[in-house]
Amino acid sequence: MAAKEIKHVPEPVLRRLPRYLQILTRLKEEGLKEVSSTRIANELHLDSTQVRKDIEFTGIIGKPKTGFLVPQLIHAIESFLNWDNVTDAFLVGAGSLGTAILGYPGFNNYGINIIAAFDSNPEKAGGTIRNIPIFHIDKLPDLSNRMHVHIGIITVPAASANEVAAKMIDGGIKAIWNFAPVQLRVPKEIIVENVLLHASLSVLTRKLGQQIKDQK
């Protein structure tokens, strides 16, 4: 008997699931009990087959003619993304972006809980931002190891991002959410998810530039 097959989940699927969740949460509030893949697909301008295939990854089975049970589907997606057990995280870089992320109340719904922030500026250490304590960056490895923190968030300038990543890895951090526009050099077992705002802007500015050019 073969071990339970763990099917590889394509990243595009992982990126669509929270979008389904957003729709589902809204529909649940509206009192809807069941939803079809067609409905979800229409709201997001996707193909219904794609939605069904994505949902299949979560292990949920639908019913012909009616679709999927909304609460069940919500629970399945949340559990699939590991959002049902919230993981502690450290944030490094208490500048404006870091402060914004510390202040965002919603991340607990997305599976992470920021319990401390760090900065290289000694004047910031000792203070708090929205009740989250700030420490000097040098304390990170030790604190991280002692508290078994697994997620690190990098919101420092590009020039110091790799240095910060090294300290995180020292501290036993396993996954890095990186907002700095640089390629992090880390061992391959470290999970890195980049939020590259410049890459996002490039899509927007190029398309806009082309549209304006086309009109001429």
Sites of contact with DNA (CB under 7 A): 10-13, 36-39, 46-50, 52-53, 55-56, 61-68
Q: By CB under 8 A, name the one of 48, 72, 99, 162 that touches its own copies.
A: 99
Q: By CB under 8 A, name the one of 110, 136, 160, 162 that touches its own copies.
A: 110
Q: Which of residues 160-189 bind its own copies (CB under 8 A)?
A: 174-175, 177, 181-183, 189
Residues binding its own copies: what is the number (CB under 8 A)?
63
Residue 55 neighbours by CB under 8 Å, 6+ apart = 20, 37, 62, 68, 73, 76
Binding status of residue 41 toward its own copies by CB under 8 A: no
Using the rule CB under 8 A, give the single segment among 31-39, 48-56, 99-107, 140-148 that binds its own copies: 99-107
Nearer to its own copies, 146 or 206 (CB): 206
Using the rule CB under 8 A, give the single segment among 31-39, 115-123, 141-149, 208-216 that binds its own copies: 208-216
Half-sphere exposure for 154 (CA within 13 Å, toward CB)? 29
Residue 207 interacts with which of DNA, its own copies, none, CB < 5 to 8 Å by class: its own copies
In angstroms, what is the minimal distance from the CB of 186 to DNA? 19
Binding status of residue 61 toward its own copies by CB under 8 A: no
User: 94 exposed, middle or buried (CB, 10 Å; 0-12, 13-18, 19+)?
Assistant: buried
Interacting residues with its own copies (CB under 8 A): 6, 9, 11, 14-19, 21-23, 43-45, 80-83, 87, 95-97, 99-101, 103-104, 106-107, 110-112, 150-151, 158, 174-175, 177, 181-183, 189, 191, 193, 195-212
